[in-house]
């Protein structure tokens, strides 16, 4: 068990090229292993193997959950900008198009 408080938010690339956004409260390596073993079924279990592309640790679990929910609502392009660390593109992609 991981003694580090808080949680990780992560993005996985699935075998079909899609992305999965999730959070891990009991260690990121453990959660990645659970995904690749199909432990809990669901989205990634039908798209194995998965690869960890991006993660960030948040000391406060409520912050991690909020960020996970936010990223889940993002476009593919915006997620890819985050994975590249291209924060300028994230801001540009966030602007409303009227």
pLDDT 10s digits, 56-68: 999 999 999 999 9
CATH superfamily of 7-94: GIY-YIG endonuclease (3.40.1440.10)
Instruction: Give the residue extent of every domain in the chain.
Output: 7-94
Which residues, other chains included, contact 20 with Cβ-Cβ below 8 Å and sequence gap of 6+? 11, 12, 14, 35, 43, 44, 47, 50
Cα 31-66-18 angle, rounded to 5 deg:
55
Tokens encoding 75: 């476009």
Cα 34 from Cα 36, distance rounded (Å): 6
Q: What is the largest CA-CA distance in the chain?
A: 48
What is the pTM (predicted TM-score) of this model? 0.90
Tens digits of residue pLDDT in 17-63: 999 999 999 999 999 999 999 999 999 999 999 999 999 999 999 99
């Amino acid at each position: 068990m991981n003694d580090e408080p808080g949680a990780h938010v992560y993005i996985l690339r699935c075998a079909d090229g899609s992305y999965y956004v999730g959070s891990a409260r009991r260690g990121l390596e453990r959660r990645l292993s659970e995904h690749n073993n199909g432990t809990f079924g669901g989205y990634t279990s039908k798209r194995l193997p998965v690869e960890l592309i991006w993660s960030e640790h948040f000391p406060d679990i409520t912050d991690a959950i909020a960020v996970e929910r936010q990223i889940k609502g993002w476009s593919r392009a915006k997620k890819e900008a985050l994975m590249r660390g291209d924060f300028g593109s994230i801001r540009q992609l966030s602007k409303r198009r009227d």
